[in-house]
Amino acid sequence: MNDKSITTLKGTGVSVPGNDIDTDRIIPARFLKEITFARMGEYPFFDERFTQEGGKKDHPFNAPERQNASFLIANDNFGCGSSREHAPQALFRWGIKVVLAESLAEIFAGNCAMIGLAAVTLSPGDIHEIQKAVDDDSSLELTLDLKTKKVSCGGREYGIEIPESRRKALVEGTWDSTALLLSRLDKARATAEALPYMNQFNSL
């Protein structure tokens, strides 16, 4: 493990119910033109949260008591649609560190793992129990333990599913490919120097 290791995450939750919530709902396409992710945290569920005039709608992400939530509880096929990496970026920069869902779109789940956002699945019954508990008590703390593959909520434990490659990358801290490359920069440079096409084929 290294300083990027993610093993246990704790926080309160926000439930966004409904099946087939796609990436266009998570972040509308017009925000994809921004050249950095710096402001992505302003945009999750934007069209469902705000009127055209900028007024707030009734949405879980607008609820004052949910502003510090770090667990998002969703239902079936969350993150479907286009493969835009802006969707997990928007959720992560809003404050979400864990997505619990009945099922996840594969590309969305992979994009989550690449930024250190733990996206895991539970049975529909377990998700519904957690959603109800979170809806009833905004201060309820949830815990995700990636070593034991368990979520704790309201005194109960629930088993999670996550592909082993992603779980291992989060636990070992290898999910951050840029940091991993920089930590081995000397080896990368040595390899580059040995490649003919990186040195005008001088070694041939």
pLDDT tens profile 158-197: 999 999 999 999 999 999 766 656 666 677 777 877 888 7
Domains by residue range for the chain, with CATH? 8-173 (3.20.19.10), 175-204 (no CATH)
Nearest to 74 by CA among 43, 53, 44, 51: 44
Write out residues in the chain with pLDDT < 70, as ranges. 1-2, 177-185, 200-204
Instruction: Answer positive or negative: Cα dihedral of 160, 166, 170, 171.
Output: positive
How far is 71 from 79, CA to CA, in rounded Å?
Answer: 15
- pLDDT at position 188, please? 72
Please state whether beta strands 8-11 and 142-145 pair in parallel, antiparallel, or not at all (unpaired): antiparallel
pTM for this structure?
A: 0.88
Is 105 in contact with 46 (CB distance < 8 Å)?
Answer: no
- pLDDT at position 179, please? 61
How far is 47 from 61, CA to CA, in rounded Å?
Answer: 12
Q: Which SS3 state, helix, strand or coil, does residue 134 take? A: helix
Neighbouring residues of 112: CB distance < 8 A, sequence distance ≥ 6: 79, 88, 92, 99, 104, 118, 119
- pLDDT at position 21, please? 98
- pLDDT at position 187, please? 75
Is 57 in contact with 50 (CB distance < 8 Å)?
Answer: yes
Helix (H) or strand (E) holding 130: helix 124-136
